[in-house]
Amino acid sequence: MQVAVTSKHGQLNASQQEYIKRKAEKLLTYFERVTSVSVVVSFDDSRVGVELLVEAEHKHSFVANDQGDDVAPTFDAAMHRMEQQIKKYKEKIQEHRNG
């Protein structure tokens, strides 16, 4: 799985990038078919915006956004939203298979 971390209008230090990559790799525990994760962190004035784009096999894409004051909590909130989307999708395809 590929994890790409980019930033707009600012810089992420090495520890923040490592934190984001480590957390993003945990998406594989929820859904094994994840092929790539793209994280875009944008710095606008005093706000931080985080956008997660997750690509999975069979052309499934998931998107989660969040805004906040600091990188780590904002990323965690967006990650939580992504986890909820993936869990819901996985539950949906498992129910479809059992029906």
pLDDT in tens, 79-88: 999 999 999 9
Dihedral, CA of residue 87, residue 22, residue 54 and residue 1, to nearest 10? -110
- We report the CATH number of the domain holding residue 20 as 3.30.160.100
Work out how many domains the chain is built from and give that number.
1
pLDDT higher than 70, residue 99: no
Q: What percent of the chain has pLDDT over 90?
A: 71
Residue that the structure tokens 């600012």 belong to: 10
Given a cut of 70, is residue 98 above it in pLDDT?
Answer: no
Q: Residue 62: helix, strand or coil by DSSP?
A: strand
- Looking at residue 63, what is its pLDDT? 96
pLDDT in tens, 8-37: 999 999 999 999 999 999 998 888 889 999
Give the C-alpha separation, 14 to 17, whole Å. Answer: 5
Q: Which residue has the tokens 């992504």?
A: 82
Output the pLDDT for position 93: 81
Six-digit token string for 8: 């707009």
What is the rounded CA–CA span in Å between residue 70 and residue 61? 26
The pLDDT tens digits for 29-47 are 888 889 999 999 999 988 9
The domain of 32 spans: 2-98
What strand order describes the sheet that includes 47-56?
2-8, 34-44, 47-56, 60-68
